[in-house]
Structure 1
């Protein structure tokens, strides 16, 4: 695990604060007990052991902060969970966050010319419809899924450029498709 050697080298400079982010820790830190029970390869168990050893090694440095992300925290190894000083569940985006994601995507699509700038009441109406879409997505879809909806809407539109008002029509269709495919139950 050469990366941990590099982390330790950085941590040797006590003037540095070293942040280590391990995204999707479950890919390395899967429960060894579950792995054994499901006849996973021995390599998977060795990987967890090696990860735990390396985490212990770099944690000795007071200037190292290790952060991990997981969508499957219930499948993490118990020894890994014992090493966690603080755990925070983030959850799915609410309506304000969903709206910000959609607006950010629309802004970028406008910047590159996929959405024509419109003005007046159409923009206000489109914003109201966007807010409704954000409320539909709230607590049902992940941020990644919400970011996919504007791309799906572009694919549905089949046009080089489209008005904002018309684009929101396609966003509504894309949202319905995404919610239909979602594993999370939808409320009416």
Structure 2
């Protein structure tokens, strides 16, 4: 089976060249290369073609596997051209008896804010690929007009797991990624991030009405068939709280009214071919079973394994090298170290030190892991720049301190 090489081309904001001309120029350049680096942004200036240099901001190549590079020959090259939207998210408000409520943030995609986010999220093998396959299947079924009454698809994703594991970031990155990949179907994406806590008004009787009103606004967005609308409900248990538990509460009817309103609106949205519902939860046992049942894919996002931690730390080190805070050095991929049998040489010494730090860090959340390099520099280094071995020693101390604080 021929592998698909996905090539995402970020066109410069001031470029007026036709997308097809850019695709042709980039494809010609790629075919001149024996192999390409995967999942790493290549600047347009990296290439020799003048069209690419002038009109392309960056290029990202990827396969649906864990490879770090691949040969171009023998792959099926698929190209996607897009421009990044520079504007920040707009805050949507609604009026209730308590005044103006910030009920959602609306961001036009692909957004500069999320550029490169997908590539900098590391999970166990298959998590991101499964999510992309899910969305691709939705697109295929929509194109072929598959009857949703025959084959059930609610267009709902539920990511669940402990706090700090990157569930919300993954939802945003997925929305950005599919907007780029489905650029031939949609002119742009819209990420509507619902503020669950604002919707659950302190005037409980208004909450159900606010949910209905917000989803009415979302349906207006869906009237544009060229817009891909991704609705993000973070901490969905705030809105979809288990109705069985509500019966024992002091305001059961109002809590149940909110859940009923949400479920009704989700059932109505699934008839639109251009919508995707992305939800997260830290406590799945608190979610109403009827909502869980509507989720087409339920993906657990746990704490990173040592392999994922190694990728996180390696990406942090490379960023610090890029900015000149840490001296340039080579940090090898784990696959390369494995191929060498994890043999220590002058070339692999620092990478193996990073492996040990990764094993030491198991049990820490992704949010904490990305804070370790900052803490290492702030607490244990007193120079503006440093070497890799000194920085790794500082990271060791920062990890020990963080684990002591979290687990004692």
Normalising by structure 1, what TM-score?
0.77
Query: Which residue number in structure 1 is paired with residue 307 of structure 2?
Result: 96
Q: How many residues align?
A: 182
In the other structure, the counterpart of 1:127 is 351
Matches within 5 A, 1:52-63: 52-63=263-274
Q: CA deviation at 1:172?
A: 0.6
Deviations along 1:19-53, whole A, 9 cap, x unmatched? 32323323333334335546579765554344333
Q: Which residue of 1 aligns with 2:293?
A: 82
Provide the C-alpha distance between the structure 2 equivalents of 1:43 and 1:129, rounded to a whole number of angstroms: 56
Deviation of 1:97 after TM superposition, in Å, equals: 1.3
Q: For structure 1, which segment, 77-86 or 13-22, has the greater mean C-alpha deviation from structure 2 after superposition?
A: 13-22
Aligned to 1:112: 323
Q: Which shifted more, 109-118 or 124-133?
A: 109-118
CA distance, structure 1, for counterparts of residue 386 and residue 346 of structure 2: 13
User: 5 Å matches for 1:10-159?
Assistant: 10-14=221-225, 16-35=227-246, 37=248, 39=250, 46-117=257-328, 124-138=348-362, 140-159=363-382
Unaligned runs of 5+ in 1: none
The whole-number CA distance in structure 1 between the counterparts of 2:399 and 2:366 is 13
CA distance in 2, matches of 1:122, 1:28: 55
Deviation of the 1:99 alpha carbon: 0.8
Structure 1 residues 42, 117: CA separation in 2 closer, same or farther (over 3 Å shift)? farther
* CA deviation profile, 1:87-139 (whole Å, cap 9, x unmatched): 122322222211111111122222233223357x777432211111112334x
Q: Give the 3 Å change call, closer, same or farther, for CA 98–43 of structure 1 in structure 2.
A: farther
Cα 1:178/1:38, change in 2 over 3 Å: farther
Q: Which has the higher contact order (CA 8 A, sep 6+)?
A: 1
Q: Which runs of 5+ in 2 are unaligned?
A: 1-210, 331-344
**Larger mean Cα displacement after TM superposition, 58-67 or 163-172:** 58-67
Which is greater in Rg?
2
Check conservation: 2:381, 2:394, Cα contact below 8 A: no
| More divergent stretch after superposition (94-103 vs 174-183) | 174-183
Aligned residue number for residue 400 of structure 2: 176
| Post-superposition CA distance 1:139-180 (Å, at most 9, x none) | x22221211211221221242222221111111111122233
Match of 1:166 among 390, 393, 396: 390
- The worse-fitting range, judged by mean Cα deviation, of 152-161 and 31-40 is 31-40
Q: Distance in 2 between matches of 1:40 and 1:108?
A: 51
2:306 touches 2:358 (CA, 8 Å); kept in 1? Answer: yes
**How much is the aligned-residue C-alpha RMSD, in angstroms?**
3.1
TM-score normalized by structure 2?
0.39
What SS does the aligned partner of 2:232 have?
strand
Kindly indicate which of the two structures has a greater share of residues assigned to strand: 2
SS of residue matched to 2:354: helix
Distance 1:38 1:3, change over 3 A: closer
Give the Cα–Cα distance (whole angstroms) in 2 for the partners of residues 150 and 92 of structure 1. 18
Identify the structure with the greater helix proportion: 1
